[in-house]
Structure 1
Amino acid sequence: MVLFVLFISTMAYVFGEAGSGYGWIYGIIALVFSVFGSFGSYFYSDKAVLALSNAKLTDKNRDYDFYTAAENMRIASGLPMPKLYVIEDQALNAFATGRDPEHGVVVATRGLLQRLDRSDIEGVVAHEMSHIKNFDTRLMMIVAILVGSVALLAHFFMRSMFWGSGNRDKGKGGGIMIVLAIVFAVLAPIIATLIQLAISRRREYLADASAANMTRNPEGLASALEKISVDHAVLQTATSATAHLFISNPFRSKEARSWFTNFFNTHPPIEERIKILRGM
C-alpha cells in the first residue's frame, strides 16, 4: 500500500515537472490526496458499495437459510456475526465488504438464495466470510481507490497536454521529462489495473481454501461455483468498479478465456477453482 501511494506521488511529480517545473508541489499534493483518499475508502466505501448494489438489510425471519448459514460459519470461524444484505436480482452471486470483522457485511442475490442448496449457500457464505477474516475487503477497497487515483492523474495530464495548459518550456527535464510523463500517463493506469486484478485473483483462491477449511466440506463451495458458472444472467446492479468484489465475475458473458486476456479478468477461471476444491 505504501508503494502504491509512493508510485502515485512519483507520477504526480513527473507530470508536474513536465507541465510546469513544480513537480515537488504536485507530488506533495498527490501524496496528501492519496492518504486521505485511502482513509475515506477505509471508513465509507462499504456504504457506497451497498448503495450502488441496491442491497437491502435482511434478518432471520426473511432469509432463514442465509442467516443460519452465517451463524454456523460465525461459530466455525470465531468471527463476529456479519450484517446480511440481499440484492433483489435473479443472477447467482454474492460479495463481502467492511473494513474489518467487526464491520463485516455479506451480500447475496435473491437468485442465489432461492436456487442453491443449503450446503451450497454455506459454502458461499464461508467464502465471503473468509474474505472478511483475511481482510481482503479492506485491501481491495483501498487498492481500488489508489488505482482510480492513478487513472485520474493520467487523464488530467493528457487533457492538459491536449489543451496546451502549463508552461512546458520551463520544465526542468525539458523534452525528456515530457516524453517520460507521456509514457507514465499511458502505461501507469494499465500496470496499476493489472496489479489490482492480480491481487483480486489471488485473494479469490485464498478465500476458496479458507472456506473449505471453515466448512470442512469443499464440495459445498465447488457445487455452488459449478451452478454459478452455468448461470449467464448479468447482475444488473454490478459495475466495473464493484465487479472484483463478487464471488464470480458478474459479467460472465464478457469473460475473457485466452491465456493472455485472463490477465485482465477480475477472477481466476471458475473451472480451475472447482478443480482445486474437489482435489482437497
Structure 2
Amino acid sequence: MTVYDQITHNKARTYAIILTFILLVTGFFLIIGKLVESPTTYFIIGVTFSLLSSVGSYFYSDRIVLFTTGAKPAEKKDFFDFYTVAENLALAAGLQAPKLYVIHDPAPNAFATGRDPKHAVVCATTGLLEKLERTELEGVIAHELSHVKNYDILVSSIVAVLVGTVALVSDWIMRSLWWGGFRRNENDRESRNPFMMIFIIFVLILTPLVATLIQLAVSRRREFLADASGALLTRYPEGLARALEKISSDKDTLHTASSSTAHLFIVNPLKKLKHVSSWFANLFSTHPPIEERVRILRSM
C-alpha cells in the first residue's frame, strides 16, 4: 500500500467510524426510548446528539485531546531544540511545520493530533525533551510527523473523542434505566421481562467494549507504518529504536493520560499491563509490543 493509498484508506475509515458512532448512539437512545415509552422523542434526541458529537469531534477533537492531556503551547525560547527538530523534519517531509505543545510531566512520551496536516499539532512531554538525545528525539518527531502525513491523526483523534462519548452515553443510559423509566414502569409487562432487560444490559455493556477494541486495533496497525516512515525520514532507524526502549523502560507514569487517549501516544502511557504477557494482554494493548517494533526497526 502506497502512502497515498494509506491516506485515502484513513479518510474512508474516518467516515466509517463516524457512521458507526451515529448508529450506536441512536440505537442506545432508541432502547431507552422504548423503555420509557417515548421512542420517537428519544430517536430524535439520539440522531441530533450523535450528529453534533460527530461534527464536533471532526473540528474540535484536537482541542479536546490537548485539554484532557493538559498540554500547553511550547514557547520557542524555552524549547528551541524541539522547534528546530520539528521544523527541519517537517521541511524534509514536505509538510507545514506543526504547532508544538508540551505536557509538563517527567514521563517521556509524545503524540500528534489534528484533522489534517495544515491543522496538525505535535505534543511532547518535558520528560521526553529532557531525557532523549537529539537523534532519539528526531526519531520520535519523525514518527509523529508520519502520523500527520498519513492522516492517522484524523482517525485517532476522532476515535479518542467518539469512543469516550460512547462509554459516557452507555453509562448514562444504564443509570437512566435504573433510576428513571425502568423503575417508574415496574408494572409494565415489558419492563418486567427479565430476558429483555438482560439482553439490553448485555448490549449496553458489550457495545463500548467493541468500540474500545476497534480503537485499539486501529492504533496497533498504524504504529508499525509510522515507525517505518519515521525511520525513512531520518535515515537512522536506530535513533527511534533507542527512543522506544528508553520511553518504555522509564519508571515515571504520565498522570494526565487516560484510556481514551492512550492510543495517541508513541508508547502506551498506561503501564497496568506492562508485565503481563499473554494473548489477553495483547488484545487490550493500545500498541504493538515494544520488542517487536525495535526488532523491525533494527532490521531495516
- TM-score scaled by length of structure 1: 0.89
Q: Give the 3 Å change call, closer, same or farther, for CA 263–71 of structure 1 in structure 2.
A: same
| Of 103, 116, 125, the match for 1:87 | 103
Query: 1:144 deviation in Å?
Result: 2.5
For residues 160-199 of structure 1, the aligned pairs below 5 Å read: 160-163=176-179, 165-166=181-182, 167=185, 169=188, 177-199=196-218
Query: 1:82 deviation in Å?
Result: 0.5
2:278 aligned partner: 258
| Of 209, 230, 238, the match for 2:228 | 209
CA RMSD of aligned residues (A): 2.4
> For 1:16 and 1:119, how far apart are their aligned partners in 2?
57
Secondary structure of 2:279's match? coil
2:260 aligned partner: 241
Question: For residue 238 of structure 2, what is the amino acid of its counterpart?
Answer: E
| Of 240, 253, 264, the match for 1:221 | 240
For residues 107-186 of structure 1, the aligned pairs below 5 Å read: 107-163=123-179, 165-166=181-182, 167=185, 169=188, 177-186=196-205
Query: 1:254 deviation in Å?
Result: 4.5
Secondary structure of 1:194's match? helix
Query: 1:32 deviation in Å?
Result: 1.9
For residues 22-33 of structure 1, the aligned pairs below 5 Å read: 22-33=38-49
Return 19-28 or 118-127, whichever deviates more. Answer: 19-28
Secondary structure of 1:54's match? coil
Contact 1:14–1:180 (CA under 8 A) maintained in structure 2: no
Question: For residue 121 of structure 1, what is the amino acid of its counterpart?
Answer: L
Contact 2:219–2:263 (CA under 8 A) maintained in structure 1: yes
Query: 1:197 deviation in Å?
Result: 1.4
| Of 31, 48, 71, the match for 1:14 | 31
Structure 1 residues without counterparts, runs of 5 or longer: none
> For 1:239 and 1:79, how far apart are their aligned partners in 2?
29
- TM-score scaled by length of structure 2: 0.83
Q: Give the 3 Å change call, closer, same or farther, for CA 27–271 of structure 1 in structure 2.
A: farther
Structure 2 residues without counterparts, runs of 5 or longer: 1-16
Q: Does 1:43 align with 2:59?
A: yes
Query: 1:24 deviation in Å?
Result: 4.5
- Deviation string 1:171-195 (CA, Å, 9 cap, x unpaired) is 59x7664443222112111111111
> For 1:48 and 1:185, how far apart are their aligned partners in 2?
25
% identity of equivalent residues: 54
For residues 63-82 of structure 1, the aligned pairs below 5 Å read: 63-82=79-98
Secondary structure of 2:111's match? strand
Q: Give the 3 Å change call, closer, same or farther, for CA 54–274 of structure 1 in structure 2.
A: same
1:272 aligned partner: 292
Contact 1:232–1:253 (CA under 8 A) maintained in structure 2: no
